[in-house]
C-alpha cells in the first residue's frame, strides 16, 4: 500500500513501529559503512534552466546511495535517518567536498547544495565549508546553499548572523520547498536569502486547481518585489512551463527540462551549445 507523505508525494507504506525502528537502525548502520566505503555514494546533478527552458543556469547536487544488496535507496528515506543519528554531519561534509570538486572541474557552473538543518546549525558549518572551498580553489560565488524554512524557525539571531556572514563571503542562499513550512513571505523579509524555490506540490496543481495558479503567481510577484529570484521545482509539463514563464518565474527545474544526471552525463550536457 502507498501512503501520501502529505505533500502529494507517495512513499512506501510505513511498517509497524517496532519494525520501523529496527529498519532505521539497520539503515543507519549501513549508511555509516557506506560513508567509509564511499563508492556506494554519489552526487547527481539536476540542471536548473531559465524560463525558456533553453539555457542552463546551474545545477542542484542530489545525493544518491546504492547499497550493494538493497540497491538504490531514496534520499527521502535515508536523509531523515542521517539527521536523527547525526550521520548527516559527516555525510554533509562529504557532499560539500564532492560539490567543490565538481565546481573546480566546471569553473563557470553554479552548484546548489542541500544543507540539512542540523548541518547548517552545527557550530563548525562555516569553517568546514570555507576549508573545502579554499582547498579546491573555487569561489564561494559558485555555490548556493539550499536550506529549508524550518532552519529559520530556530535560534533567530544565530541564523541571521550566519546567513549574513555567508552572503558577505559570496555564497548564495536558496529557500527550498517554499510553501510547505510555516513561514510567510512577510517573515522572510527579515532573513537575507537570494532565491525561493516553490515546492513541487504547487507546481503540480498549475492548470488543475485555480488556487495553485493564484498562489504561484503571487509568490513570484511578492518575491520579486522583495528582490528575490524564484525557482519552480518539479516542472513536468510544457503547460506548467508556459504558466510559469508567463508569471515571470526566473528559473525552472524538473523532469521536463532534465532529470538529475550522473557526472559524466552532465559533462556531455555542458558541452552542448544549448545547454
Ligand atoms: P529537494 O532538495 O527538494 O530536491 C528535489 C527533489 O525532487 C529531488 O529528489 C529530485 O530528484 C526531485 N525532482 C526533480 N524534478 C522532479 C520532477 O519533475 N518531478 C518529480 N516527481 N520529482 C522531481 P531526490 O533526489 O529524491 O531528493 C529528495 C530530497 O532529499 C531533496 O529534496 C532534499 O531535501 C534531500 N536531499 C537530496 N540530496 C541531499 C543532500 O546532499 N543533502 C541533504 N541534506 N539533503 C538532500
Ligand atoms: Mg533542494
Ligand atoms: Mg526542493
Ligand atoms: Mg523538495
Dist. CA 19–CA 126, nearest whole Å: 37
ipTM above 0.90, yes or no: yes
Mean pLDDT of 155-173: 94
Q: Ligand 1, residues 12, 34, 114, 180: which to mutate, most atoms within 8 A of Cβ? A: 114
Which residue's C-alpha cell is 527552458? 53
How many angstroms separate the alpha carbon of residue 257 from the centre of ligand 1? 15
Mean pLDDT of 226-236: 96
From 59, 52, 143, select the one nearest 97 (Cα to Cα): 143
What pLDDT sits at residue 200? 97
Indicate the average pLDDT of the chain. Answer: 91
Convert the pLDDT of each residue in 88-129 to its tens digit. Answer: 999 999 999 999 999 999 999 999 999 999 999 999 999 999
pTM score, whole prediction: 0.93
**Ligand 1, atom 43, residue with closest C-alpha:** 114
Please provide residue 148's backbone torsions phi and psi, each rounded to the nearest 5 degrees: -110, 160
Convert the pLDDT of each residue in 43-74 to its tens digit. Answer: 999 999 999 999 999 999 999 999 999 999 99
Residues flanking ion ligand 3, Cβ below 5 Å: 176-177, 233
What pLDDT sits at residue 23? 86
Whether 6 shows a pLDDT value over 70: the answer reads no
What pLDDT sits at residue 167? 97
Q: Ligand 1, residues 4, 34, 62, 86: which to mutate, most atoms within 8 A of Cβ? A: 62
Tell me the percentage of the chain whose pLDDT exceeds 90.
80
Dist. CA 146–CA 124, nearest whole Å: 17
CB 174 within 8 A of CB 191: no
Ligand 1 pocket, CB under 6 A: 46, 62-63, 74-76, 79, 95, 114-116, 146, 176-177, 200, 233-236, 253-255, 260
From 203, 227, 224, select the one nearest 215 (Cα to Cα): 203
What pLDDT sits at residue 105? 97
Report DSSP letters for the chain, one per residue. -EEE-SSS-EEEPPPPHHHHHHHHHHHHHHHHHHHHH-TTEEEEEEEEEETTS-SEEEEEEEEEEEETTTEEE-HHHHHHHHHHHTTHHHHHHHHHHHHHHHHHHSTT--EEEE--HHHHTSTTHHHHHHHHHHHTT--GGGEEEEEEHHHHTS-HHHHHHHHHHHHHHT-EEEEEEETSSS--HHHHTTS--SEEEE-HHHHHTTTT-HHHHHHHHHHHHHHHHTT-EEEE----SHHHHHHHHHTT--EE-STTT---B-HHHHHHHHHSTT-
Measured from the alpha carbon of residue 174, the closest ligand is 2
SS (H, E, C) 83-116: HHHCCHHHHHHHHHHHHHHHHHHCCCCCEEEECC
Tell me the percentage of the chain whose pLDDT exceeds 70.
91
Amino acid at each position: 500500500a502507498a501512503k501520501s507523505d502529505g505533500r502529494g508525494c507517495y512513499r512506501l507504506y510505513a511498517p509497524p513501529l517496532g519494525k520501523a525502528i529496527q529498519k532505521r537502525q539497520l539503515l543507519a548502520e549501513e549508511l555509516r559503512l557506506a560513508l567509509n566505503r564511499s563508492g556506494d555514494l554519489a552526487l547527481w546533478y539536476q540542471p536548473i534552466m531559465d524560463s525558456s527552458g533553453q539555457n542552463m543556469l546551474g545545477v542542484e547536487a542530489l545525493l544518491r546511495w546504492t547499497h550493494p544488496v538493497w540497491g538504490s535507496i531514496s534520499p527521502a528515506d535515508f536523509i531523515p535517518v542521517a539527521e536523527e543519528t547525526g550521520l548527516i554531519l559527516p555525510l554533509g561534509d562529504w557532499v560539500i567536498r564532492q560539490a567543490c570538486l565538481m565546481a573546480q572541474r566546471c569553473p563557470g557552473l553554479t552548484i546548489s547544495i542541500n544543507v540539512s538543518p542540523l548541518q547548517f546549525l552545527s557550530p563548525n558549518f562555516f569553517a568546514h565549508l570555507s576549508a573545502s572551498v579554499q582547498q579546491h580553489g573555487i569561489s564561494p560565488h559558485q555555490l548556493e546553499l539550499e536550506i529549508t524554512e524550518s532552519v529559520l524557525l530556530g535560534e533567530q539571531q544565530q541564523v541571521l548572523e550566519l546567513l549574513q556572514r555567508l552572503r558577505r563571503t559570496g555564497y548564495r542562499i536558496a529557500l527550498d520547498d517554499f510553501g510547505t513550512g510555516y513561514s510567510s513571505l512577510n517573515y522572510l523579509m527579515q532573513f537575507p536569502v537570494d532565491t525561493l524555490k516553490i515546492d513541487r506540490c504547487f507546481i503540480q496543481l498549475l492548470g488543475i486547481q485555480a488556487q495553485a495558479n493564484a498562489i504561484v503567481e503571487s509568490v513570484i510577484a511578492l518575491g520579486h518585489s522583495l528582490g528575490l529570484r524564484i525557482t519552480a521545482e518539479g516542472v513536468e509539463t510544457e503547460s506548467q512551463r508556459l504558466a510559469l514563464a508567463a508569471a515571470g518565474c526566473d528559473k525552472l527545474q524538473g523532469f521536463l527540462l532534465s532529470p538529475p544526471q550522473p557526472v559524466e552525463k552532465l559533462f556531455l550536457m555542458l558541452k552542448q551549445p544549448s545547454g
